[in-house]
Amino acid sequence: MEFQRTDSDNENFIALVRLLDADLAEKDGADHSFYAQFNKIDKIKHVIVGFYGDYAVACGAFKPFDEDSVEVKRMYTREEFRGKGIASMLLKNLETWAAELGYSKAVLETGKRQPDAIRLYGNNGYQLIPNYGQYVGIQNSVCFEKKLSF
């Protein structure tokens, strides 16, 4: 596996996000209008794409959340590559990059109907927190945080 730091203009990232959105529509239902407003991918400066050879198999990103924190966004691994630890490696790469930039914490939101994502974040040291910001009161949302220490 190779991980490439890039931004949201990356064609591989854009293609993987299309697959992510299709996957979420299947699991959560087609109406993602509430979440879509917070998941726009234009102007994200910190994106990582994971490659198996020349084939883009996973992606993730982060954006500033506040002065000390980033918000992890748009995590996705192609279905045929799941269960191999790729998402954990990608998440670790995102955390390392954020720490290099001086951030000390990562936060994120995922859906209650995403048990694999919930397990991924729990297995990687993320702690459940009350829903933050736009996710307060959203029944399908689960929020996490992790202190970054490198």
The region of weakest confidence among 31-40, 79-88, 101-110 is 31-40
Residue spans of the domains in the chain: they are 2-147
pTM (predicted TM-score)? 0.89
Q: How far is CA 132 from CA 71, 129, 137, in A?
A: 11, 8, 9
- The β-bridge partners of 22 are none
- pLDDT of 34 reads 43
Angle at 28 between CA 72 and CA 86, to 5 degrees: 40
Question: Can you identify the CATH homologous superfamily of domain 2-147?
Answer: Gcn5-related N-acetyltransferase (GNAT) (3.40.630.30)
Residue 52 identity: Y
From the CB of residue 56, how many other CB atoms can be counted at a distance below 10 Å?
A: 18
> Quick check: helix, strand or coil at residue 30?
coil
Helix ranges, the chain (H) = 11-28, 33-36, 86-100, 115-123
pLDDT digits (tens, 9 = 90+) for 12-67: 999 999 999 888 876 655 444 444 444 455 689 999 999 999 999 999 999 999 99
The region of weakest confidence among 32-36, 75-79, 81-85 is 32-36
